[in-house]
Structure 1
Amino acid sequence: MANRTATEAKTIHGTNPQFLIEKILRTRIHDSLYWKEHCFALTAESIIDKAVALTSIGGQYGNQKPTEFICLALKMLQLQPEKDIVKLYIQNEDYKYLRALGAFYLRLTGTSLEIYKYLEPLLGDLRKLRRRNISGGFELTHVDEFVDELLHSDRVCDTILPRITKRHIMEENGDIEPRISPLEEDLEE
């Protein structure tokens, strides 16, 4: 199965799931040492161990080398784990990088309703994350900042995210309840 998508995988947004990551980045991932040594025989269950061992998030660094985070994201696209498994990744309180990987994967593959339903609760997670930047160094961010970026940015971790319906439009259509910020109580006082 080396670099091919699982045969039972369904198309996502009308395309092969791996194609959600641009070809040039996908090629760099397939050529990377981490992919060849650590991602070759992973399954939906064994990928958890690799995600727990992550020490940073990010897309590419240094001389455009893919990070371990983006390699595992591509592997998840290749394996296409069930939505329930991805939701368990996101709801995991113990491992913040597993949570970030699940959130990134859901943002790539989920519907607008699923994305808002499962990612917005993570806006209350204030744990620190390390982000590998293009220069190869690290910068500090937080889970809530990363999730906010997933909800509002077009490009995260050097990956163009599929478009989602704006939240206010979904509220107007009655698809989703209005979001009440935890800060509103503080403002009222």
Structure 2
Amino acid sequence: MVHIEIVQGDITEQDVDAIVNAANSSLLGGSGVDGAIHDRGGYTILEECRRIRAERYPNGLPTGKAVATGAGALPARWVIHTVGPIYARSPAPARELASCHVESLRIADDLGARTVAFPAISTGIYGYPLHEAAPIALRAVRESTTSVELVRFVLFDEAALRAFTSAEASSS
């Protein structure tokens, strides 16, 4: 069973095997977590993302799917990029958000990662309400069949931290 930690902090500073990037479908960087990971990880992440786009996903990475790159200058070994749902546009946001977590853990298993850090996927510009996203993310991780030993939810602000700790307390 995977051990879950919930902390407030900067995902780009996490010393884990893999960090999860809340990417956009282009995989070419953006704002929020995506921009921070590309900025701090350096150009090699963007180069790998461009290669993945050219070779595997010419129309962009679909919502709920995940791919991995190296982590460039980040402390982690890998970045797992996943595209969360845009809450107001998705016909099934809960299913797609859960898929982001399950697919990211599947990729982590393929890589041999034992420790993974997740942000609060889709809760920024994609508009997913924190109080809805937190229990979905936690349940998806808890119910996944994975060899990952530790999942750390690294939350940027106090509101996200409260939402995730409340959701975790409610599930116990």
Q: Normalising by structure 1, report the TM-score.
A: 0.43
Larger CA Rg, structure 1 vs 2: 1
Relative to its length, the structure with more helix (as a share) is 1
Q: Normalising by structure 2, report the TM-score.
A: 0.46
Relative to its length, the structure with more strand (as a share) is 2
